[in-house]
A and B are shown apart, each in its own frame.
Chain A
Amino acid sequence: EPEVTQTPSHQVTQMGQEVILRCVPISNHLYFYWYRQILGQKVEFLVSFYNNEISEKSEIFDDQFSVERPDGSNFTLKIRSTKLEDSAMYFCASRSDREGTDTQYFGPGTRLTVL
């Protein structure tokens, strides 16, 4: 069964450093998402991406964040200058555009620790 994959599973970085989180969505999916979950809290939407552009973003997704689909398979989230409060689990998700089969499927997550 196809699944969303994410790398790395755990990333430790120093405050102020840039990080890139990588995701490979399910191959025939056209909508891509990033969410984050601070430890013990709910899952929060960051950004959605469709047709090579951002379709929606939350207040959390400020200028420090960017997303890219550099090729036909990868979807990346870049944090330019990490802050302590960026420490969280980051989930990538994807879904198809066909009505009735448009459930979002999540990857296993990347745990980001900012020291």
Chain B
Amino acid sequence: AQKVTQAQTEISVVEKEDVTLDCVYETRDTTYYLFWYKQPPSGELVFLIRRNSFDEQNEISGRYSWNFQKSTSSFNFTITASQVVDSAVYFCALRRYNQGGKLIFGQGTELSVKP
């Protein structure tokens, strides 16, 4: 069975702090994809990153970085120098490598960045 766990339900930080959102996944597949989506207070789901299981290279995009470690089945997301606009719910998701390709979401982590 496939499963995604985001153990941190809520995180509160002060602006300019760094924050890491944890994501642990379970799958027996050897090929799969991992995603992060952001859900701001307005409610839409905004795609942030997609990762293939065979590509463990970490990625940085501006203040965002992602650490993918197959050995621990984790795909953690770090925001450096957080800003108030980063306040949102962040979802980690897993997708099997098959035709249908449904996303299996974690519970989400609500990040609150205070000025």
The 8 closest A-B pairs by CB, nearest first: A56-B100, A106-B45, A45-B102, A55-B100, A43-B105, A48-B100, A108-B44, A42-B107
Q: How big is the A interface, by class?
A: 20 to 34
CB atoms of B50 and A42 under 8 A apart: no
- Decide if A95 is an interface residue (CB 8 Å cutoff): yes
A106 touches B44 (CB 8 A): yes
Q: Is A26 an interface residue (CB 8 A)?
A: no
Residues in A with CB closer than 8 Å to B99 are 50, 55
Q: Which B residues touch A41, using CB under 8 A? A: 107
Pick 18 A–B contacts, CB within 8 A, sort by A. A31-B101, A33-B102, A42-B105, A43-B93, A43-B105, A45-B102, A45-B103, A45-B104, A48-B100, A55-B99, A55-B100, A91-B45, A95-B101, A102-B101, A103-B47, A106-B37, A109-B45, A111-B43
- B91 interface residue per 8 A CB criterion: yes
CB neighbors of B among A60-115 (8 A): 89, 91, 93, 95, 102-109, 111
**In B76-114, which residues have CB < 8 Å from any A CB?**
91, 93, 95, 99-108
Q: Which residues of B contact A (CB under 8 A)?
A: 35, 37, 43-47, 50, 91, 93, 95, 99-108
Main SS at interface, chain A: strand
Neighbour of A56 across the interface among B46, B91, B102, B107, CB < 8 A: B102
List 10 other contacts, CB 8 Å, given A95-B101, A106-B47.
Answer: A33-B102, A42-B105, A42-B107, A43-B105, A45-B102, A48-B101, A104-B101, A104-B103, A106-B45, A106-B46
Taken together as a complex, chains A and B put the C-alpha atoms of A58 and B105 apart, in Å, by: 14
Is residue A18 contacting chain B, with contact meaning CB distance below 8 A?
Answer: no
Q: Mark A29-53, 1 if CB is under 8 A from B, else 0.
A: 0010101000001111100101000
Bound state CA distance, A111 and B46, in angstroms? 17
A44, A48, A104, A109: the one contacting B43 at CB < 8 Å is A109
